[in-house]
Amino acid sequence: MISPNREPGAEQKFKEISNAYEVLSDDEKRSIYDRYGEAGLKGAGMGMGDFSNPFDLFESLFDGLGGMGMGGRASRSRATEGEDQVYNLVLNFKEAVFGVEKEIEITRLEACSTCDGSGAKPGTKPSKCSACGGQGQVVSSARTPLGVFQQVMTCSSCGGTGETSTPCNTCGGDARVRKSKRISLKVPAGVDSGSRLRVRGEGNAGRRGGAPGDLSLRTTLVMAKKGVPLLNKSNMRGDQLVKVQVEIPKRLSGEERKLIEELANLNKAKPLNSKR
């Protein structure tokens, strides 16, 4: 039961519900609100101090109830999707400019092989959850001026499965264990430091048949061994993190054009036929 005296913020919410009900049930006040909004009600001296848009308020209320205000039953879902993983991918300048195929090692949660991803100790059978009676959900009621509304929430004791069991000794009931895996990936040419790349299905495994998460790669551009000397190891240097900004000149002087053409010849590349 939700009580204004015990739930944080509940008293204010009850005031808003009461005021909204007062507006919706009074033809005069509703007419004023339809024409002038909240300011019209306050200007008319109707004492709507703690007031929200009544339509938005009730819409949010019913959304929060998950459509359960009229005594329905929400569907149960045993499967839970896996979380995404974030990996910091270090690239040198050449790899960032031209692209590269790399093999990296990641650590992620995979389905426990001992319990086959069930989370239960092998040889044991699950039993009905005593907290929710096997429904996977519990009901919380709130009394308002419009009557009693019921909100259905996932049971915290069983996580919405409706069952409890002796946890697996390997995974502790999580149904997943942390393992390392090597994967190959292709980095496209032209990535910048801070770019995001996504590899579908290479994140943490889901629970009870849920889809796995994704692997999110965050690129960092470095110049290897070009940083400051390491403490007490002057012959060794760290990496230099860089952010490259290339400015393309809009106009070239004769001398600048000559230097660029010389550079192109040195690289055995055909110079650009620019008229500027």
CB 276 within 8 A of CB 251: yes
Look at residue 194 in the predicted model and tell me its pLDDT. 82
pLDDT of residue 48: 47
Q: For residue range 196-214, list pLDDT tens digits in order.
A: 899 999 999 998 788 999 9
Instruction: List the Cα angle 55/57/60 in 5-degree steps.
Output: 105
Distance, CA of 194 to chain centre: 18
- Say which residue the tokens 């033809």 belong to: 27
pLDDT in tens, 39-48: 555 555 544 4
Residue 67: pLDDT band with limits 50, 70, 90: very low
Q: Tell me the one-letter amino acid at 216.
A: S
* pLDDT at position 64 over 50: no
* pLDDT at 157 > cutoff 90: no
Cβ distance 22 to 16 under 8 Å?
no
Please give the C-alpha separations between residue 248 and each of 72, 174, 190, 254, in angstroms, as whole numbers: 64, 54, 16, 16
Sequence spans of domains, the chain: 1-64, 81-111+176-245, 248-276
Tokens of 260: 């660029």
86-120: buried (b, 16+ CB within 10 Å) or exposed (e) per residue? ebebebeeebbeeebeeeeebebbbbbeebebbbb
Span 213-239, mean pLDDT? 75
Strand, helix or coil for residue 270: coil
Radius of gyration, CA atoms only, the chain? 31
Burial-class residue 41 by CB neighbours within 10 Å (0-12, 13-18, 19+).
buried
Question: Which class in CATH covers the domain with range 81-111+176-245?
Answer: mainly beta
The angle formed by the CA atoms of residues 60, 61 and 67, to the nearest 5 degrees, is: 100
pLDDT one-digit tens code per residue, 3-34: 444 445 555 665 666 666 666 666 666 666 56
Instruction: Say if CB 97 and CB 197 are below 8 A apart.
Output: no
Q: Would you tell me the crossing angle of helices 54-64 and 10-25 to the nearest 10 degrees? A: 130
